[in-house]
Amino acid sequence: MATMTIAKALNNGLRAAMERDPKVIVMGEDVGKLGGVYRVTDGLQKDFGEQRVLDTPLAESGIIGTAVGLAIRGFRPVCEIQFDGFVFPGFDQIVSQLAKLHYRSQGKVKVPVVVRIPFGGGIGAVEHHSESPESYFAHAAGLKVVACSNPSDAYWMIQQAIAADDPVIFFEPKRRYWEKGEVDPDADPPPLFASRVVRPGRTLTVAAYGPMVKTCLDAATAAEADGHDLEVIDLRTLSPLDLDPVLESVRRTGHLVVVSEAPSESSIASEIAARVQQEAFYSLEAPVLRVTGFDTPYPPSKCEEDYLPDLDRVLDAVDRSLGW
C-alpha cells in the first residue's frame, strides 16, 4: 500500500503497462523530455527511450491519425491531449476513424488506442483549457469512455484501458491531479466498466464522476449535520454507462441528484436522469435533479467559481429533493 497523488498514480500505471507490454507507446505534446505539463509522463522517456515515448508536433489530428496506424500494426498507443479543449482538431480522426474501424472491418481490425484527456475546470486557466467534452465521445458508437476520480482508480483504470482492445477515451480530473490517496498495487481492481458506491447511505443517492466525486463526498459529510445520510456513487464509466448500482440505490432512497461539471443540456447527467426515471419511476419520491455547469461557454477564470458546481449547490439540490 502506498500514498500517492492521482498524477503519480497515472505515471505508475503507465509505467506498469509499458513494462508489461513492449507494444505500449506513449505519444503527445511535451510528454517526453518535459514529462507532460502535469508531469504525468515524467521519467518515462528516460526509462523507455524516445522510440516508445514520443514528443509529437502540435497537431492533435496527426497524433490520433498516427496512433490509428500504429494500432493497426499491432501497437497499443496511449495519446495525451494536453488540454481538453485541444481535442477538437483531432475530433474527426477519433469519431470517423478510431471509433469505426473495428465495425467497418467486421471485427477484423482492432484499434486499442487510449486517448488521455485532462478535463474540467478549477485551475484558473485561459480559454480552451477547462472544457468538459465527455458527452461528445459518449455519443460516438465504438468508443469506450471512462473517468477516474482518485489515485487507486487512476492507477488501475489506465492499465485496464491500455489492455482493452477497444479505443478508450480516458478522462482525468486535472484539478484533482495533486490530491493524494491510497494505492495497493497488489489488490484485485474492480472492472473497468463498472460504477461503484464510494459512500453508503440511506437518505438520498448522489451520482457523479471525475472531479465532482470529491465535491459530492464533501457534501455528504456536510449533510450529516442536517441528519441526511447520502449515498455517493462514482460512475467511473460513461460509455457504457453502468447504472445498476444507481438504480439499486434509488430503489432504496427514492431520491437522486446527478452532479457534473459539464453543461446540463444533452449531457451525461441528462441521460442518467432519463434512464433512472424510465427504469425506477415508481421508486422515486421526487424528480431526478441535476447539478451541473451552466449552458454557456466556459467563463473566464475569475468567474469559474460561480460556474462550477460546489458543495452549496449540491446541498441545495439535496434539500429540494428531500423537500419535494
Catalytic positions, please?
A: 129
CA dihedral 118, 123, 125, 127 (to 10 degrees): 60
Q: How far is CA 19 from CA 6, 11, 16, 127, 317, in A?
A: 20, 12, 5, 37, 46
Coil vs helix vs strand at 16: helix
Q: How far is CA 282 from CA 248, 252, 253, 318, in A?
A: 13, 11, 12, 19
Contacts of 68 by beta carbon, 8 Å cutoff, 6+ apart? 93, 97, 98, 101, 111, 113
Residue with cell string 456513487: 233
Nearest CA-CA partner of 313 in 264, 276, 245: 264
Measured in residues, the chain has a length of 324
CA dihedral 292, 179, 203, 283 (to 10 degrees): 50
CB 79 within 8 A of CB 116: yes
CB 204 within 8 A of CB 257: yes
